[in-house]
Amino acid sequence: MRLADFIEQRRAQILDGAEEFARTQAPLGLELDAAALRNHLPQVLDAIVIDLRSRQSSVEQKAKSEGLAPKSSGPESAATSHGRTRAQGGFDVNSMVAEYRALRAAVIRLWSADAALVAASLDDMIRFNEAMDQAVAESLAEFSREVEMWRHVFLGALGHDLRGPLSVVMFTADQLALSTQGTQSAKKVSRLVSGAAHMRKLLDELLDYSKSELGIAMTLHRSPCDLATEIREEVSSLSTIIPNMAVRFTDNGPCEGHFDCVRMREAIHNLVANAAKYGDEASTILVSVTSDVEEVQVAVTNSGESIPESVLGSMFDPLRRGVKKASNGENSSLGLGLFIVREIVQAHGGEVSATSIERQTQFVITLPRS
């Protein structure tokens, strides 16, 4: 008897065993009925039967054995649904994968006891394992996406809830700063104000990151403005708060366009702060703005240890903090600064790139003017 026929004939027995095993994997304290325990496993088994009876090339066979079969353009697979609903149900990834191991073992054990292992049987067993591997891969992919999505929801909710009490801290610190001017406590209160402002920036970055990962595009508030003027003011402000490093600004004239200047100032702030953090101490950071009829380019250049080519491509990915410790010893960062820069630039329809040659690192933002 071919394996596909055997699975159909013994389907109830196989699924009874799968249900019983799933019961041992369910989260503690969670009582699940038979339907919830079986979940999409019956449909997974049916899909495997269909797969066993279908023709496949050697290329398709290899892809399936590695869990890399192309996604179907039709309805969501049962394995994908199973992975997502197991994540929603509180199963951990090991428990979810263990269900497939148990299902595989039940089929092979029952079948090997029932059938003589002839050449056709061996082929069926190989095909069955390939189909199981693909089902596991699909479930794992969807399980991971679901878990990651809820992680970002949690981070976003946490960041949002922390803004309330932090606003109280910032308001109180500002009032203390006013009342302690000229006293011995003024310096301590100034550090409190600075620390609270830094916490607010970290929370803003966390919220931007969570929204982006959840597929919520960054909102821009565009208005006609001269980007060169805005960035010159931001550089002037940064020059007063970055110790031991000069920040110099150049431009080739007005750069009018429709931009979200608040967000663009934030992007330049992050790039200059990054240059100050990782560049050579006592060196100069150069911020230049150039434009033509169609585009505006903003470049931030600093001297310091060159960044390997292998790292440059991932520098704008979230939760990365550079390839070495900050030159100023300050590492209280979520590693989201460059990620936020990329999100701001892409929301403007532009692009940002980085180069690092002979101890000179440069970030270049290119934006359309219209």
Question: Of the ranges 58-67, 71-80, 98-107, 326-335, which is most confident?
Answer: 98-107
3-state secondary structure of 195: helix
pLDDT at 332 over 50: no
| Residue 66 shares a structural domain with residue 194 | yes
Higher pLDDT, 112 or 52: 52
Residue 364's pLDDT band (cuts 50, 70, 90) = very high
Domain end, chosen from 156, 185, 216, is at 216
pLDDT of residue 203: 79
pLDDT at 300 over 80: yes
Q: What CATH number has the domain bearing residue 240? A: 3.30.565.10
Model pLDDT for residues 8-64, shown as the tens digit of each residue: 999 999 888 888 888 888 777 667 778 887 888 889 889 888 988 888 888 887 777
Residue 329's pLDDT band (cuts 50, 70, 90) = very low
Structural domains of the chain, count = 2
Model pLDDT for residues 143-181, shown as the tens digit of each residue: 877 777 767 666 766 666 676 677 778 888 888 888 888
pLDDT of residue 350: 94
Q: Which long-range contacts (C-beta less than 8 Å, at least 24 apart) are formed by 233-239?
A: 233/265, 234/265, 234/268, 234/269, 235/268, 235/272, 235/287, 238/269, 238/272, 238/273
Domain end, chosen from 216, 232, 265, is at 216
pLDDT of residue 197: 82
Domain end, chosen from 216, 248, 264, is at 216
User: What φ, ψ does residue 33 adopt, rounded to 5°?
Assistant: -80, 175
| Residue 72 shares a structural domain with residue 112 | yes
pLDDT of residue 160: 60
CA angle 252-253-257, nearest 5°? 115
pLDDT of residue 154: 66
| Residue 32 shares a structural domain with residue 169 | yes
| Residue 127 shares a structural domain with residue 243 | no
Residue range of the domain that includes 106 = 1-216
| Residue 7 shares a structural domain with residue 77 | yes
Q: What is the mean pLDDT of the chain?
A: 81
| Residue 252 shares a structural domain with residue 153 | no
Residue 360's pLDDT band (cuts 50, 70, 90) = very high
| Residue 123 shares a structural domain with residue 171 | yes
| Residue 77 shares a structural domain with residue 167 | yes
Residue 336 tokens, joined: 């989201």
